[in-house]
Amino acid sequence: AGVTQNPKFQVLKTGQSMTLQCAQDMNHNSMYWYRQDPGLGLRLIYYSFDVKDINKGEISDGYSVSRQAQAKFSLSLESAIPNQTALYFCATSGYGFLTKNIQYFGAGTRLSVL
Amino acid sequence: DQQVKQNSPSLSVQEGRISILNCDYTNSMFDYFLWYKKYPAEGPTFLISISSIKDKNEDGRFTVFLNKSAKHLSLHIVPSQPGDSAVYFCAASAWNYGGSQGNLIFGKGTKLSVKP
């Protein structure tokens, strides 16, 4: 299956909270969360090189993450605001000498905050 | 400040011709470069990569060229096919510096349309 994201679509009202789930069966150590906005490419929110490692990315404000297991990495919005409307992608990487940081992406979660 | 730039938001090419997608970068530490392809309603998929010790890498119809002095790379697709119509993202990392330096920095993407 590779990288699985749930849900695929979500509509929230301002102030609501939710958690985006990501699971991978590629036995990768590293996992990432990105958001894509029209015309802005992919921007890194949080990343984790292993279960006990969590790091902020370029745009972490308003988000939190949890690495529940090597295979699972979730992204939470505690109090959603309209400018968090975007397409969210989870990615994984083996991050090794041979594999470098070739990342493999899930199909994405389209989030709308009204 | 954008470290990875794709200055053409879109490109239209006739089927069978060459598609050339361009990418410029500003960070001299970048030593590993990747191209991703993205179809609507799907996640980006890895296409091809190149290390800074090379200036060319080929994989079938896809070739990536790297010009380190100009801080420029390009993706050539020959011949172009309608199924190649997608958004193409360029990404770069400072892989050999390790840790977070190996994270990917993405360009904004170029939408390629290949017309039959």
As a whole number of angstroms, the distance between CA A5 and CA A23 comes to 7
Distance from the B98 Cα atom to the nearest Cα atom in chain A, whole angstroms: 10
Reported as a single tens digit per residue, the pLDDT across B81-114 is 999 999 999 999 998 888 888 899 999 999 999 9
Report yes or no: B92 and B105 within 8 Å, Cβ to Cβ. Answer: yes
Single-letter code of the amino acid located at B7: N
- Closest residue on chain A to B7 (Cα): A39
pLDDT tens string, chain A, 114 residues long: the values are 899 999 999 999 999 999 999 999 999 999 999 999 988 889 999 999 999 999 999 999 999 999 999 999 999 999 999 999 999 999 999 877 777 789 999 999 999 999
First to last CA, chain B: 38
- What φ, ψ does residue B40 adopt, rounded to 5°? -55, 140
As a whole number of angstroms, the distance between CA B79 and CA B76 comes to 9
A107: nearest CB among B42, B93, B100: B42
As a whole number of angstroms, the distance between CA B24 and CA B44 comes to 20
Residue among A45, A43, A34 at smallest CA distance from A3? A34
Q: Which of B7, B104, B105 to mutate to test the interface with A (most CBs of A within 10 A)?
A: B104
Give the distance between the most distant pair of CA atoms in chain A.
Answer: 44
- What φ, ψ does residue B44 adopt, rounded to 5°? -60, 145
As a whole number of angstroms, the distance between CA B9 and CA B88 comes to 10
* Assigned token pair, A70: 């090597």
A101: nearest CB among B9, B93, B106: B93
Which residues in chain A are closer than 8 Å to B95, comparing Cβ atoms?
A: 100-101
Whether the CA torsion A13, A19, A24, A27 is positive or negative: it is positive
